[in-house]
Amino acid sequence: MYTQLDIETHFDGKLKIAYLNQPETMNALTKPALSDLRDFVKECSDDETVRCVAISGRGRAFCSGQNLDEAFVVGKEHHDHDIIRKIVVDYYNPLVLEVTRCKKPVIALVNGPAVGAGAMLALISDFVLANEKAYFAQAFSNIGLIPDTGGTYFLPKLLGRQLANYLAFTGKKLSAEESKVHGLVAEVFTEEEFVPKSMEILERMANMPTAAIKLTKKAFANSYTNTLKEQLELEGDLQQEAAGTEDFIEGVNAFLQKRKPNYKGK
């Protein structure tokens, strides 16, 4: 079904991992790859059996960003000066929206370099788990472009104006550990521990109360534009919605009965 992705399913179908599978180009993004990723995330969001979604890369890189050969050849072949805008609007933007509004947690497993749009593919995820040998680079300025894939929206919010400007203007590489210090990465693991430790976290996420996580994502997303009063009102509404889920009842019963909860994601 997917030409650019290698899909793995774990934990009785509750976890799905999509691996970018073009290691010969360090998993550079093409239009087919972007379409596959968008479709994958949407399908996982709509599939009630899936409770957690992850994105990673095969080979030594997570993602090296846009495949420039594709953009250059198409642009030159058709003399279409709007080709970059079309790729951004038609392929990157829909993917960003699918990832950020996914009903399930979306986790980036950054196994190696994440550059340009590849870095932002990781950073638009709900959180990032990184191999200690990974690095992140906003390399857009190196070829005369601006950050896309949600970069101009998320980077100032994640880093603050000063550091966002510095990284976007210079294209400086941040190691995985530096990225964790600056709040871009949740956890950094050694090369040996990366897979087993990441899978432990993914297993936990696949067994969490998914409905509450979906509502938490919605609340956080709205906080960017809401006033405090509006956000407090939204919290009340979403908390009531969370209290109406089967998982809330299970969580309370498990707490009172001093046992491990068995959440269904409903």
In a domain, 264, yes or no: no
In a domain, 86, yes or no: yes
Q: Are residues 140 and 224 in the same domain?
A: no
Predicted local confidence at residue 81, as pLDDT: 62
Instruction: Return the CATH number at 215.
Output: 1.10.12
- Choose among 27, 6, 30: nearest CA to 18: 6
For the whole model, what pTM was predicted? 0.92
Q: Are residues 138 and 239 in the same domain?
A: no
Which tens digit of pLDDT belongs to each residue from 227-258?
999 999 999 999 999 999 999 999 999 999 99
How sure is the predictor about 83, in pLDDT bands with cuts at 50, 70 and 90?
A: confident
End-to-end CA distance of the chain: 28
Predicted local confidence at residue 70, as pLDDT: 77
In a domain, 17, yes or no: yes
Domain end marker among 169, 184, 207: 207
Q: Are residues 121 and 144 in the same domain?
A: yes
Q: Are residues 67 and 162 in the same domain?
A: yes
Q: Are residues 188 and 222 in the same domain?
A: no
Q: How high does pLDDT run on average in the chain?
A: 94
Q: Are residues 181 and 246 in the same domain?
A: no
How sure is the predictor about 75, in pLDDT bands with cuts at 50, 70 and 90?
A: very low
Q: Are residues 109 and 19 in the same domain?
A: yes
Q: Are residues 170 and 240 in the same domain?
A: no
What number is the average pLDDT over the span 213-226? 96
Q: How do 173-175 and 135-137 pair as beta strands?
A: antiparallel
Which tens digit of pLDDT belongs to each residue from 125-175?
999 999 999 999 999 999 999 999 999 999 999 999 999 999 999 999 999
Which tens digit of pLDDT belongs to each residue from 178-189?
999 999 999 999
Alpha carbons 65 and 85: distance in angstroms, whole number:
16
Q: Are residues 81 and 142 in the same domain?
A: yes
For the chain, the domain total comes to 2
Radius of gyration of the chain (CA): 19
Q: Are residues 108 and 185 in the same domain?
A: yes
**Residue keyed to tokens 């966002």:** 164
- Choose among 22, 173, 34, 198: nearest CA to 107: 198
Residue 79 has pLDDT above 50, yes or no: no
Edge-to-edge strand list for the sheet holding 52-57:
5-10, 15-20, 52-57, 106-110, 127-131, 187-189
Q: Are residues 86 and 218 in the same domain?
A: no
Is the separation of the CB atoms in 105 and 213 below 8 Å?
A: yes
Predicted local confidence at residue 41, as pLDDT: 98
In a domain, 92, yes or no: yes
- Give the three-state DSSP class for 189: strand
Residue 78 has pLDDT above 80, yes or no: no
Domain hosting residue 248, numbered range: 210-257
Q: Are residues 171 and 235 in the same domain?
A: no
